[in-house]
């Protein structure tokens, strides 16, 4: 039959010589020759990032919005846990909307760092199948020694000591072969327990683009923990801005539709020597101002991963402005508005919030140059949705 192939050349829509190229290159040329690429990429990706030092409440925001998307993607590592109120769960490695939208495809990007016991636990808890979950083969595996090394050396910067930084360093230094920092580099593609879930997430993203499926990319930690843009050395081991999350996921900037920046009314940091804050206060101060029970605040302000009591600061307007510029924020999700006034705790609509809260929202919008379109009251599943007003 092959000898008859040349007879097809005069009637073929596209002719590709296969003498010097492999099958994937033939396919790429055929697709281009048939004009199957869209004229310009359609923006389908919404990025959720934190504006401050993490723990802004991204988990509940992502879970609340999850049903608007057909693909949920996460990057980062187990040094950041995202709590979701309904169903109550702590997501450490998987997207926070995994159980909120059970029809969505779940992706873990190439830039992720994985603690295998945690990943397997979440896969089991969420009853994920290989048809639903894709883990990129390039994702880095954290080893026990990575965690032990961070236990010994990173308390001084308030690290959660989950091994993410050492594993990331090994991924960089292990390119010449052999072991660096005492362990050889191991990627997701080399882990037998994950083999059914490992596939190229960039291909999965391309399928979503072609089908017109909206995608949520969930960042971890906060902008001021970026290794490049935060107050070094009190930073994490990756870039936590929207652009850093896109790079870790393998998503081009022109695919982005929105950048939703999650912002707390009072920023927090991990307890201990975790770095500078503009003006540190305590739970008692918030309780006095808001008339909330101090016990409620103290119960909430405990690190999801570290378990330590959090440090609390006054709202930093320069931090907000800087984060909005770095991330290209298109929307603001303002969390913990009950910390401004206990009267907000029962609010169901924007109009139910106090006038002082409305004024605070206006100031946030002016400084960030982006509308506050979502507000949350405490830790719960209900959010207040607000039309853009800028």
* Residues classed as catalytic: 82
82 is in an annotated binding site: yes
* Token representation of residue 127: 């009853």
Q: What is the CB neighbour count within 10 angstroms for residue 138?
A: 18
Q: Is 287 annotated as a binding residue?
A: no
Is 83 annotated to bind ligand?
yes
Give the CA distances from residue 166 to residues 66, 191, 214, in Å, rounded to whole numbers and listed in that order.
32, 19, 34
Q: Is 275 annotated as a binding residue?
A: no
309 among annotated binding-site residues: yes
- Helix, strand and coil in the chain, % to nearest 5: 40, 20, 45
Q: Is 221 annotated as a binding residue?
A: yes
Whole-angstrom distance, CA of residue 16 vs CA of residue 48: 42
Report whether 336 belongs to an annotated binding site.
yes
Would the annotation count 308 as a binding residue? Answer: yes
Q: Which residues contact 210 (CB under 8 A, 6 or more apart)?
A: none
Tell me if 41 sits within 8 A of 69, measured CB to CB.
no
**84: annotated binding-site residue?**
no
Consult the annotation and say whether 129 binds a ligand: no
Q: Is 258 within any annotated ligand binding site?
A: no
Residues 255, 250: Cα–Cα separation, whole Å:
11
Three-state DSSP at 85 gives strand
CA torsion angle 214 220 221 226 (round to 10): -90
> Would you list which residues are annotated within the binding site?
79-83, 160, 221, 236, 304-310, 336-338
> Would you list which residues are annotated within the binding site for IMP?
79-82, 160, 221, 236, 308
> Would you list which residues are annotated within the binding site for GTP?
81-83, 310, 336-338
> Would you list which residues are annotated within the binding site for substrate?
304-310
> Would you list which residues are annotated within the binding site for Mg(2+)?
81
């Amino acid at each position: 039959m092959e000898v008859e192939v040349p007879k097809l050349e005069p009637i073929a829509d596209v002719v590709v010589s296969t003498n010097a190229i492999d099958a994937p290159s033939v396919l790429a040329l055929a697709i281009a020759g048939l004009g199957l690429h869209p004229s310009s990429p359609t923006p389908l990706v919404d990025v959720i990032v934190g504006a401050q030092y993490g723990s802004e409440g991204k988990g509940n925001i992502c879970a609340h919005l999850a049903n608007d998307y057909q693909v949920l993607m996460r990057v980062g590592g187990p040094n950041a846990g995202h709590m979701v109120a309904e169903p109550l769960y702590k997501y450490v490695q998987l997207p926070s909307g995994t159980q909120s939208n059970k029809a969505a495809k779940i992706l873990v990007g190439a830039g992720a760092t994985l603690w295998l016991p945690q990943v397997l636990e979440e896969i089991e808890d969420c009853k994920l199948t290989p048809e639903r979950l894709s883990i990129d083969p390039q994702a880095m595996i954290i080893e026990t020694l990575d965690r032990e090394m961070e236990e010994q050396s990173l308390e001084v910067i308030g690290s959660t000591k989950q091994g993410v930084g050492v594993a990331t360093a090994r991924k960089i230094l292990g390119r010449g072969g052999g072991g660096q920092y005492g362990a050889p580099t191991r990627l997701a593609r080399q882990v037998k327990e994950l083999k059914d879930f490992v596939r190229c997430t960039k291909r999965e993203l391309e399928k979503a683009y072609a089908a017109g499926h909206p995608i949520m990319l969930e960042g971890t930690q906060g902008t001021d923990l970026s290794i490049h843009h935060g107050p070094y050395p009190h930073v994490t081991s990756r870039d936590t801005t929207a652009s850093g999350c896109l790079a870790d996921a393998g998503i081009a900037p022109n695919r982005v539709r929105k950048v939703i920046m999650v912002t707390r009314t009072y920023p927090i940091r991990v307890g201990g020597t975790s770095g500078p804050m503009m003006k540190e206060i305590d739970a008692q101060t918030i309780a006095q101002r808001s008339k909330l029970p101090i016990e409620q605040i103290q119960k909430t302000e405990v690190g999801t991963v570290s378990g330590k009591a959090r440090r609390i600061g006054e709202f930093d307007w320069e931090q907000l402005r800087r984060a909005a510029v770095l991330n290209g924020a298109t929307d603001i999700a303002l969390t913990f508005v009950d910390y401004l006034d206990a009267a907000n705790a029962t609010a169901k609509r924007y109009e139910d919030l106090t006038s002082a809260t409305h004024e605070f929202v206006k100031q946030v919008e002016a400084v960030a140059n982006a509308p506050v379109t979502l507000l949350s009251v405490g830790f719960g599943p209900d959010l207040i949705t607000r039309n853009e007003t800028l």
